[in-house]
Amino acid sequence: MTSLVVENVFKQYGAIQTLRDVSLKIEAGERVALLGHNGAGKTTLIRMILGLTAITSGDISVLGARPGSRAARSSIGYLPESVAFHGALTGREQLRHFARLKSTPLRVADELLERVGLSAAADRKIRTYSKGMRQRIGLAQALLGQPRLAVLDEPTSGLDPVSRHEFYDIVEDLSRNGTAVLLSSHALTELETRTDRIAILSSGVLVADEALANLRERARLPIRVTVTATSEAVDSVVAQLGGTRLNGRSVELNCQQDQKLTLLGQITALGNVVIDVDVMPASLEQLYRHYSAAEQRKS
């Protein structure tokens, strides 16, 4: 069964339409990143999937169940963007509480504390926790009871780079066990290698929903090639290849995917005046700007 099906969903707040005809599917084990500016409708979509906000029209099904139904809630793990657990409780008490609500053995809660690296601080009050530690408690509760759909809203905000890395390892384990993962993030670079599909929301419309490679191909954003040459040869390099001089020794060239090899051939043919070559495909950030800007031009 498809873990999450969103079909032609609209959301209307008075006169404002925050989501327009959004359709999205996530299969078991798939990791999908949901991107969008603030106010693009990410949070609204997530809240609808969780059953916290009413759907104006369209249909959402979580493992075949209606969002917000007991069946749907039993199979969802949710990490909110910002949640402040009660400071008077210890991490262990808070997590065990959630374990009880999910009818999960308390032992699992203790294991998860260790998994997210909180076992040393587990019996301290949450008010003494750093932002990253609170985020870990949030992550741990989202993992309770082996959810079949994990909804992670800005999961890595407040985490340092090492923790981010560990976080994506956990997400990878989840998806390997068949959990569908929907995560929203602003930290675009880290998503490049860690997700299967990218969905981009712009002004309430889903403007892209594809694997990163397909997005690149479709956007036809130029590949940037930087050639570093010896300082005497830079002028002749520019004369032969074109492009723009960056500084005394480097030249920047842009090309499409299908011209890449030809260009590299030309560069190699220049012989030993070339010191180094850097090839950079369009980053996720550029793609993201490309797709969300295209939608905004339309509307």
Partner 1 sequence: MSILTITRLELLIARRNMWVATAVLLMGLFATVLTLAGGAPTGVLGVDPLTVAVTSITTLSVYLIPLIGLLLSFDAIAGEIERGTLALGLCYPVSRAEILIGKFLAHISVLAFAVAVGLGLTAGLTVWQHGGEGLNFAPLFRLFVTSLALGAAFLGIGYTVSSLVRQPGVASGVVIVIWLVCIVLYDLGLLGALVADDGGVFTKTIFPWLLVANPADAFRLLNMPTVSVSDLASGLGAAGAVSGTLGQMTSLLAWPLLAITGAWLALRRVEP
Q: Which residues bind partner 1 (CB under 8 A)?
A: 47, 50-53, 68, 70, 73-74, 76, 78, 80, 82-86, 88-89, 93, 97-98, 100-103, 141
In the complex, the smallest distance separating the C-beta of residue 93 from partner 1, rounded to whole angstroms, is 6
Which of 151/282 has CB closer to partner 1?
A: 151
And the tokens for 285? 């950030």
CA 207 to chain CA centroid, nearest Å: 15
In the complex, the smallest distance separating the C-beta of residue 175 from partner 1, rounded to whole angstroms, is 20
CA distance 257 to 203: 30
CA distance 265 to 262: 5
Phi/psi of residue 144, nearest 5 degrees: -60, 140
And the tokens for 86? 């009660």
- For residue 242, give the DSSP letter: -
Which residue in 3, 50, 2, 58 sits closest to 204, CA to CA?
58
Which of 141/185 has CB closer to partner 1?
A: 141
In the complex, the smallest distance separating the C-beta of residue 96 from partner 1, rounded to whole angstroms, is 9
Which of 149/237 has CB closer to partner 1?
A: 149
Which of 53/156 has CB closer to partner 1?
A: 53
In the complex, the smallest distance separating the C-beta of residue 183 from partner 1, rounded to whole angstroms, is 15
In the complex, the smallest distance separating the C-beta of residue 63 from partner 1, rounded to whole angstroms, is 13
Which of 151/207 has CB closer to partner 1?
A: 151
Which of 86/220 has CB closer to partner 1?
A: 86
- For residue 90, give the DSSP letter: B
In the complex, the smallest distance separating the C-beta of residue 72 from partner 1, rounded to whole angstroms, is 9
CA distance 26 to 3: 6
**Alpha-helix runs per DSSP H in 121-259:** 131-143, 161-176, 188-191, 212-219, 234-241
At what angle are helices 106-115 and 91-101 packed, to 10 degrees? 130
